[in-house]
Amino acid sequence: MNLFRPFKMIAFVFFAGIILMIPLSGVSFAQVENPAAQDTTAIAANPTVWDLAIDGGIFMIPIACCSIIVIAFALERMIGLRTNKVLPPQLLAGLQKINAQDKGLDARKAYQLCQESNSAMANVIRTAILKIGRSYAEVEKAVEDSVAREAAKLANNIRPINVCASISPLLGLLGTVYDG
């Protein structure tokens, strides 16, 4: 287990919160011709996101927290599921080079290449190479199990996004009905 993973998540949540708070800060870039002539009716006619959040009531706090969590985990998944990390080009090029030889695929070289790469594809290919010489059904089952394990690893940290996506609309409806 990576010891720096919790710190990365805290950093993601912090920066996502900062990014989310910029539009909520009430900073208005619209220019007023005469600032002294601006009255309270003009402010009510053009409310900022912050004004709307305050008017939304107490249920806007958990909705904002859910938004920050979704942004943080979406950024983490975007970084964690880069194509180069799941399907490294060095591994593909090395396997093509090994396969292009006249004597066919050398399983030992392919296994060594997969050992050097720490990716989902390398783990699945390594499992298939370890089952060379066994029955087709056994190889198929081993690869299927390996793919399921790797898919579960890749789907890590999706649950918080699903929970927030389910809870936020319900909080919005509850805030609409709540008369406080």
Write out pLDDT tens, residues 2-43: 555 666 666 666 666 666 666 555 555 555 555 555 555 555
H or E segment and range at residue 7: helix 5-24
- Please give the model's pTM, rounded to 2 decimal places: 0.62
Mean pLDDT within 110-121: 91
Q: Hey, is 95 helix, strand or coil?
A: helix
- Which residue would you say has higher pLDDT here, 149 or 51? 149
Under 8 Å between Cβ of 40 and 145: no
Give every CB contact of residue 26 below 8 A, 6+ residues apart in sequence: 48, 49, 50, 51
| Average pLDDT of the chain, as a whole number | 82
Q: What's the confidence (pLDDT) of residue 42?
A: 52
Locate the domains of the chain by residue range. 5-82+158-177, 84-154
